[in-house]
Amino acid sequence: MTPGNAHARATQPPELTPDDHVIVLLGATGDLARRKLLPGLFRLAKAGLLPERFRVVATSRQRMSAEEFRGFAYQAVTRFTGVIPDERFWSDFAALFSYVDANEAGALAPAVREAERAVGTQPRRLHYLSVPPAAVPGIVQTLGEDGLTDRARVIMEKPYGSDLESARALNETVHEVLDEDQIYRIDHFLGRETVQNILALRFANPVFQLTWNRQFVDHVQIDVPETLSIGSRAEFYEATGAFRDMIVTHLLQVLGFIAMEPPESLAADALADASSRVFDALAPLRREDVVRGQYRGYLDEPGVAADSCTETFVALRAFVENERWAGVPFYLRTGKRLAEERRIVSIGMKAAAQNAITSEAGFPPRELVFDLGEPGSISTRFLVKAPGPTMRLAPAPFIFRYDDSFQISNQLEAYERLIHDALIGDRTLFTRSDGIERLWEVAAPVLADPPPMDPYDPGSWGPDAIDELIAPRRWHLPEHRPT
């Protein structure tokens, strides 16, 4: 039984308790495992959301014993959760981990079967591929050859190819071993509570559902600036860049949530179908609608080629060519070494007809803003009568914050939510092969003929050309407050 969580499990609906599992964590000593996956498994255990009986088989190319790996996991959990685990709980929890040196050919399958015997019955398998993209096809083929794909689900990390041709080749290779419903392509953006709240706000509240179209919406912005540099990820970033790393994989997926038609249900296939219809309606991206940038100092980063043309910034304008969104521009922006670390979706509404009241007072920015940070918020601004003897209007905030409205101490982070979804077989927030291939198809013109590279200063909002891209509108970030 999972250590120390009998009470926590008793408070959860039965359908949230996964079947018995062996969790195989490939790339278990990598940065993602250290920052997200090991702390996430620990928090899921504390919340009573792991199986009643499970084992974790960790594997990587770093040579260490099982006990040394448990020490590694302890350091990861304490650092990235900020919690010192209870000694008894940790002892019981860590005892469920074993470790396999990936340099030893053929060692993984016996370790998995030994873990299965410890769990008993015929547990499900969840393989988390926290490995470089180039390693994925070989690993999946090995899992198939070793008989480890029965009763199995496989979580794959981005990027899913680097263009349309490679994405199709990857899907064909993986589909030789796995059925599509076994593949869980993870996008941690879609696991965020506020991204999911876009659907709740739209489809559960008629006032928003009725205005979510080109008649009322002027434009949409999806803005994910980062303050960090590439750090120690030069090898990955040089081969990928901001466009492949963020636009195709993350931001266009969020666009699919924002722009979808009402799905038949909130079931996984219905949502995937609705997103795919948005992707089908996306116009191919045009060179003149894209701004690429590289922060000054990037060429001095360790591992970066002296003549690198890799972009660390990209902003673009996209269009969804269907009845709901025809003519409405979607502006996407992301990059490294920018002024703030934010995750913002803002819906810019059209101006109402002027009248004697609003023209005299002026109106605050007509934006509905989703802060996708954790815990997240939804906000807008509107005019109210200011206290006093005259009819004087003043702007006021209208805001929902998770931490003001709900008990969030047990709120799952995005990776935790998605790991749990994979354990219970819920594919709602995972991406599908047809959608991935379509987005690479939409991106193909820019990949084939990218626009020129504009330098920008670290700590800025990117190249100056982004203001021309969005004109006569303005970027929500930096936030424009009425004077």
The residue behind tokens 């819906």 is: 347
Q: How far apart are CA 269 and CA 428, in angstroms?
A: 7
Q: Quick count: other Cβ atoms within 10 Å of Cβ 310?
A: 21
Neighbouring residues of 406: CB distance < 8 A, sequence distance ≥ 6: none
Q: How far apart are CA 382 and CA 59, in angstroms?
A: 54
| DSSP label at residue 243 | I
* Residue 181: closest CA among 268, 97, 100, 244: 268
> In one letter, which amino acid is 70?
R
Q: Which helix (H) or strand (E) holds 128?
A: strand 124-129
Q: How far apart are CA 125 and CA 184, in angstroms?
A: 13
250 is catalytic: yes
**204 backbone dihedrals φ, ψ, rounded to 5°:** -105, -5
Q: How far apart are CA 383 and CA 482, in angstroms?
A: 12
Question: Where are any strands of DSSP class E within 64-129?
Answer: 97-101, 124-129
Q: How far apart are CA 11 and CA 444, in angstroms?
A: 49
Q: Which helix (H) or strand (E) holds 254?
A: helix 252-259
Given 250, 420, 476, 480, the catalytic residue: 250
Q: Quick count: other Cβ atoms within 10 Å of Cβ 7?
A: 8
Active site residues: 250
